[in-house]
Amino acid sequence: MRSAVVVGAQGVIGRYIVEKLAALPDWQVTGLSRRKGIDGPRVKHISVDMLDPADAKAKLAGLADVTHIFFTAFQPGSGPAADFAKNITANLGLLVNSVSTLDKASSKLERVVLVTGTKYYGSHLGAFKTPAREDDPRHAGANYYFDQIDWLTAFQKSKRWSWTELRPQTLCGFAPGTAMSIVSVIAVYAAIRKELSLPLAFPGKAWSSLYQVTESAHLADAAYWAATEPRCANQAYNITNGDYFRWRHVWPKMAAVFDMPVAEPQPHALVEFMADKAPLWDAMVKKHGLKPYSFKDVVAWPFGDYVFNCDWDVMTSVTKSRQHGFHAVADSEEMFGRLLARFRAEKIVP
């Protein structure tokens, strides 16, 4: 029996890893997050503040059988999402407190899977070399990914366990109450424009750029592979759906999910457009009988502004992961339709 700890278990990545492992017969899972999750037959959740070393030590010291750590926690910064990478202190602290505490608690630890992202290459800063490969140089300037990787590789030296780093791009999952999913952004944006009798106009400048995404369930499959494949020891991998698309090709199909007409792109800041929409959202929740998620919890508009304004190609190579045994792919166009339809079917949006 393997024993996993998923740090950030309520997020758009962590909850999918918990579900993946819990469905397997030989795994037990402990989920860590500030919010308490729902326990299951082989799943328990611990509410803990991983930025508080004392709280982490008190609540994790008894996890003596941990074999795998999946680190998916993330602390956003303030301001534009492209600047989130500069939020070093909090994001490094989350990793240090969780891994160092669990390393001390368990003598059975085998691997730590660290989820970072393609901001490693400067995908958030402007045009970069594409398709980016894992051995490409880091971009200039601050990025908490670098601090996390450097700390983990240094801490792991002479340890009994190994690490694997996964670099996804723009997570897409059904994670109501978790703002950092572009699917949530699209779903709520479409719902509000429809309520205002407006067509679904693309709000950014990335209309014709090549882009890629990573479905959360696909990343969970990759995380399981990374945790159990010997060739993944002390290696980094790009993990995406394996395809590329242009928003102008998929946007009309998204509009069709909401039975909306499509308009020409209308670049505008979602942060500004949505600044006064909380009362409208509350009215929509009552009018349409939606699940009572608050406006601030259901979506992160700075994240939407960032994604929809990457008017440069965002492409990374997944050749290395395929060479090392991970061959799964996901159809991004099908994924968007399926996840957006689920937001409607489960009454997150009308």
For residue 322, being part of any structural domain is answered with no
What's the CA gap between 25 and 3, in Å, rounded?
12
pLDDT tens for each residue of 313-329: 999 999 999 999 999 99
Do 101 and 138 lie in a common domain?
yes
| Percent over 90 (pLDDT), the chain | 91
On whether residue 303 sits in a domain, the answer given is: yes
Helix (H) or strand (E) holding 249: helix 247-257
Q: How many structural domains is the chain composed of? A: 2
Residue 121 has pLDDT above 80, yes or no: yes
CB 122 within 8 A of CB 130: no
Contacts of 323 (CB under 8 A, 6+ apart): none
- Condensed to tens digits (0 to 9), the pLDDT of residues 186-220 reads 999 999 999 999 999 999 999 999 999 999 999 99
Question: Residue 329: how many CB atoms within 10 A of its CB?
Answer: 13
Same domain, 143 and 263: no
Indicate the pTM of the whole model: 0.95
Model confidence over 232-290: pLDDT tens digits?
999 999 999 999 999 999 999 999 999 999 999 999 999 999 999 999 999 999 999 99
- 3-state secondary structure string, 63-82? CCCCCEEEECCCCCCCCCHH
20-34, 165-179, 321-335: least confident range:
165-179
* pLDDT at residue 77 in the model: 83
Which tokens sit at 37?
A: 């999750």
Say whether pLDDT at 4 is over 70: yes
Residues 56 and 188 in one domain: no
pLDDT tens string 275-295 = 999 999 999 999 999 999 999
Tell me, yes or no, whether 147 lies in a domain.
yes
d(CA 186, CA 251): 10
Confidence of residue 179 (pLDDT cuts 50, 70, 90): low
By the 8 A CB rule, do 258 and 194 touch?
yes
Does any domain span residue 319?
no
Choose the final residue of a domain: 221, 238, 255: 238
270 lies in some domain: yes
Tell me, yes or no, whether 72 and 187 share the same domain.
no
Distance CA 17, CA 275 (A): 33
Range of the domain at 137: 2-171+213-238
Q: What is the pLDDT of residue 78?
A: 80
Residues 222, 290 share a domain: no
Strand partners, 163: 112
Same domain for 126 and 16, yes or no, is: yes
